[in-house]
Amino acid sequence: MSFESDTQVSPAEAGGYDAVIHDGWDIGGNANGGYLLAMAVRAMLAASERDDPLTVTAHYLRPGRPGPAHVDTEVVKAGKSFTTVRAAMAGSDGRLLMSLLGTFGGHDLDGPEFVDGAPPELPGFEECARMRPTGDFPSGFGDRVDTRFAPDEGFMSGVKSGKGRLSGWFTFPELDSEAAIDPLGLMVATDAFPPVVFNLDVPAAWVPTVELTVHVRARPAPGPLRCLFTTRFVTGGFLEEESEVWDGAGRMVAQSRQLALVPRA
């Protein structure tokens, strides 16, 4: 039972890839969106015959439940440097869970460098308490990932910060501190934390993702990841949530933005 084993896919005879939505990756019964994304992107990556995802977009259509799943993949264009793939993931009843589009390639390009930003300031990984599911909010997912917040990070301590910001550490519990999280693991990192909107003084009970786009900017160096999540606009029944993910070498390795619904509580 690990992220690696629970996101495996295998080529199906009739085309596409067979997968299994494993039990235990759920939040309140529905599989975590980043977990489903990682599995679908593993299939797309295989279809692309490239090294890494560069940019992937998923539109979430229905909640995923444990059981067999299938990822249909179609190479849209195989170019010199990049391959673009579209995909659809279906559950055991054949109904679509996600529709996806991604471009794959390698992180071996060269070019000018400019960085305006820094990893979020956090107490050390060992100094932050691991977030654990509570009886109020049962979640297998909380056991599959190791997410840790700064002690004063707001609503988890019972007080909303009022700021559209949340930061913390991310890794998988089965990894030792010298192991590197791969680009598929980044898919999970970008959707593994509680919604930032829970830190705001607005009534929001659940925040279903409509669309999530992840840019992978580099393969992470070894060690847990420092993640920063922000929400700046809650308007008209929607919000955006962004993430920045920084690796153990202090490099920004992934950015994401999602559009989510924020139904009146």
Q: Where on the chain is the footprint of a second copy (CB under 8 A)?
A: 54-55, 57, 59, 61, 76-77, 79, 82, 84, 86, 88, 96, 99-103, 107, 109-117, 164, 197, 200-204, 210-211, 213, 215, 217-218, 231-240, 251-252, 255, 257, 259, 261-265
Q: How far is the CB of 59 from a second copy (least distance, A)?
A: 5
Q: Which is nearer to a second copy, 135 or 237 (CB)?
A: 237
Distance CA 214, CA 2 (A): 22
Q: Are 228 and 164 in contact (CB under 8 A)?
A: no
Q: Which is nearer to a second copy, 143 or 242 (CB)?
A: 242
Q: Which is nearer to a second copy, 77 or 132 (CB)?
A: 77
Q: How far is the CB of 64 from a second copy (least distance, A)?
A: 14
**Residue (of 193, 215, 201, 162) closest to 260 by Cα position:** 193
Q: How large is the C-alpha radius of gyration of the chain?
A: 18
Q: By three-state DSSP, how is residue 225 classified? A: strand
Cβ atoms within 10 Å, residue 123? 13
Q: Which is nearer to a second copy, 10 or 81 (CB)?
A: 81
**Residue (of 265, 250, 258) closest to 56 by Cα position:** 258
Q: Which is nearer to a second copy, 110 or 178 (CB)?
A: 110
Distance CA 50, CA 44 (A): 10
Q: How far is the CB of 189 from a second copy (least distance, A)?
A: 17
Q: Are 23 and 66 in contact (CB under 8 A)?
A: yes
